[in-house]
Amino acid sequence: MNDTTTKNPLHRGAVLVASLAAAGLLGLGSAPAALAHDTLLSSDPEADAELDEAPERIELTFSADIGDGGNAVALTDPSGKSHELDDPEVDGPDATVELDPLTEAGEYTVAYRMVSSDGHVVEDRFSFTLTEEAVAGAEQGAASPEEASDGEDSAGGAEQDTAAGGDASEEPVPSSDPVSLFGPVGGAVIGIALIALVAVVVLRLLRNRSGGDGGSGDAGGSGA
């Protein structure tokens, strides 16, 4: 009976130890799942990437859906200046933010702060580098507003000069026609003057002829 009494406490102790060990193992197994939070899976540009073409946006993909509020992305250029960015557009696990043209070669730093689906804040940063070739391509692709305005002014001036040249070429050439020079009234006056001149000449011719006929008659009378 003493052996049975001795064995029961030992048996109970062994069962208790085994139960505690099993509970500990279960706790260790569930601990990573409890501590795991959403993380960044990928980005475009990628971390530490060296780019020959300037990106137009930053795209982030996380391990789970992102909440709608409290999200932000910041960009710092090689000179240490922070660029003002709009709030990222969220679509499930993806977050996207548009960029203004990047015109400086060197290392850029992207810092992000996102609220994950479980309410945990995911924040970190990474960098990428723009080469001189990328900057040259961005400068050639985007003309400044002043240059565009100058081009428009030059085009407008050329159009005005062309229009002025067209007007000048369409101006009538001075005519030697009296009617064209003096207008309808002047032409009528000139016509009347010509008629009067012709009439004077005709009258003189008639007078001369009449005078000649009279002289011939006188001469004939004298001879008789």
Q: Give, in order, the Cα–Cα distances in Å from 22 to each of 12, 15, 16, 18, 33.
A: 15, 10, 10, 6, 18
pLDDT of residue 222: 47
- Fold of the CATH domain 40-141: Immunoglobulin-like (2.60.40)
- Residue 28, pLDDT score: 46
The ranges of the chain with pLDDT < 70 are: 1-36, 138-189, 210-224
- The model's pTM is 0.50
Please report the pLDDT score of residue 37 as a whole number.
72
- Residues 46 and 127: their CA atoms lie apart, in Å, by 8
CA angle 181, 182, 187 (to 5 degrees): 110
Residue 34, pLDDT score = 42
| Alpha carbon distance 114, 73 (integer Å) | 8
pLDDT value at position 126? 98
- Domain locations in the chain as residue ranges: 40-141
**CB burial string 138-152: b at 16+ within 10 A, e below:** beeeeeeeeeeeeee
What is the pLDDT at residue 203? 78
Picking from 82, 85, 57, the residue whose alpha carbon sits closest to that of residue 71 is 85
Alpha-helix runs per DSSP H in the chain: 2-35, 132-141, 145-169, 178-223
**Cα gap 185→191, rounded to integer Å:** 10
Q: Which residues pair with 42 in a beta bridge?
A: 61
